[in-house]
């Protein structure tokens, strides 16, 4: 609407000049001013849209190919000085009249030359920005993608081929996000199936892995671990006993006391679980889980297994899962005994601080039990 009104005013001004100076009526001049302003608006189209906050997807602007923009720019740059000289001459006639004395040629030529240079510089800058800006946007988002930060282009304000390019880039980013969601769902399904298969072998330990994962997650939250680590900790705790799949049923399901040889077979399940999961491809999603699975039976005093690690040598996930695993094992029913009272299990954890379990992690877990009202304040202290 603004552009139409602007062009109408120019047309009225042209008609007025025809009446004042009939000798200046010619087809070449009529509408030339409107023509140049139209080209200027076409070239600055994206800048105007960007300042306005983008385009309306339901009413997109008329597409203007980049090739046309370049052609119009070259045409405008080559014809503008000549037409500007004609405009300057007309302005001179309108100011002095056809019978008045004329200005000398060189002052007019100097003014026109300086104005043409300034306008050409402006037009060149406009054209450079027209090409450089969308290229910079794509390069920025590609650098983010190299760092695995996949962000779509928020505002596609372009009306030429760059609009199609950015739409294609956004579709690619959406596809990457969909693939990541699918991969996470597949990984979660894989972990769930393995956990269910382990629980199915021993109905008395069914749900043990899930409870340990929940306890471990509570400790991780008390440590203010980032979300990515919390997710890995939860999965590692879910799979901490997956190596027991390789333990014979005669040993795993035995009701009585295990012999030394049988217990030695049981002690191999952390390393066996790590070895099983190392066969998963790709290994990258599984790699962060392996340390916790292998080391969840290590002790602070070095008397644990399979590697006899001590203190800070034990991975954080292993120390967290060790506390959660021990508590659930003590409080769960077994064929050969009934589960302990929560206060009794808490007392054993407290006595084992600094020798079997990490002192800080035990305190955090007891605090969690207190907050969940599973343990009284006096028992926690």
Pull the structure tokens for residue 245: 């799949």
Q: Prior bond to 306 cis, omega within 30?
A: yes
Regarding predicted confidence, which is higher, 47 or 364? 364
User: Of 296, 337, 300, which is closest to residue 318 (Cα–Cα)?
Assistant: 296
The helix (run of H) or strand (run of E) holding residue 297 is none
Domain positions in the chain = 2-159, 202-380
Check: pTM over 0.75? Answer yes or no. no
Instruction: Measure the CA dihedral 124/127/129/135, to 10°.
Output: -130
| pLDDT, mean over the chain | 76
- Mean pLDDT confidence for 242-261: 84
- Rounded to whole angstroms, how far apart are CA atoms 81 and 19? 26
Q: pLDDT (tens digit, 9 = 90+) per residue, 261-281?
A: 988 898 999 999 999 999 888
CATH assignment of 202-380? Answer: 1.10.3210.10
Q: pLDDT (tens digit, 9 = 90+) per residue, 169-226?
A: 888 888 888 888 888 888 888 888 888 877 777 766 678 889 999 999 999 999 999 9
Count of Cβ atoms closer than 10 Å to residue 312 Cβ: 10
């Amino acid at each position: 609407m603004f552009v139409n009104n602007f062009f109408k005013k120019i047309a009225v001004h042209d008609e007025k000049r025809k009446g004042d100076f009939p000798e200046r009526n010619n087809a070449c001049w009529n509408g030339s001013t409107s023509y140049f302003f139209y080209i200027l608006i076409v070239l600055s189209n994206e800048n105007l849209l960007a300042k306005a906050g983008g385009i309306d997807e339901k009413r997109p602007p008329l597409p203007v190919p980049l090739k046309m923009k370049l052609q119009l720019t070259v045409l405008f740059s080559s014809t503008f000085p000549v037409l500007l000289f004609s405009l300057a001459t007309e302005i001179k006639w309108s100011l002095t009249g056809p019978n008045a004395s004329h200005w000398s040629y060189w002052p007019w030529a100097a003014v026109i030359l300086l104005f043409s240079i300034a306008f050409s510089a402006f037009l060149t800058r406009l054209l450079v920005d027209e090409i450089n800006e969308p290229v910079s946007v794509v390069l920025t988002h590609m650098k983010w993608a190299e760092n695995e930060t996949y962000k779509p282009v928020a505002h596609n304000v372009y009306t030429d081929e760059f609009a199609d390019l950015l739409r294609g880039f956004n579709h690619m980013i959406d596809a990457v996000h969909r693939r990541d969601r699918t991969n996470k769902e597949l990984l979660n399904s894989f972990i769930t199936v393995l956990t269910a298969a382990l629980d199915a072998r021993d109905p008395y330990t069914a749900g043990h892995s899930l409870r340990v994962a929940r306890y471990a997650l509570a400790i991780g939250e008390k440590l203010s671990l980032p979300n990515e680590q919390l997710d890995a900790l939860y999965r590692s705790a879910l799979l901490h006993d997956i190596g027991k799949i390789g333990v014979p049923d005669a040993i795993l399901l035995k009701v009585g006391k295990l012999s030394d040889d049988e217990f030695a077979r049981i002690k191999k399940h952390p390393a066996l679980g790590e070895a099983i999961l190392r066969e998963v491809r790709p290994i990258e999603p599984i790699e962060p889980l392996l340390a916790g699975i292998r080391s969840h039976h290590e002790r602070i005093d070095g008397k644990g297994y399979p590697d006899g690690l001590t203190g800070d040598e034990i991975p954080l996930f292993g120390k967290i899962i060790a506390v959660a695993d021990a508590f659930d094992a003590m409080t769960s029913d077994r064929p050969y005994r009934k589960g302990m009272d929560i206060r009794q299990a808490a007392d054993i954890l407290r006595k084992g601080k600094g020798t079997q379990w990490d002192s800080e992690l035990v305190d955090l877990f007891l605090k969690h039990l207190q907050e969940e009202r599973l343990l009284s304040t006096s028992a926690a202290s």
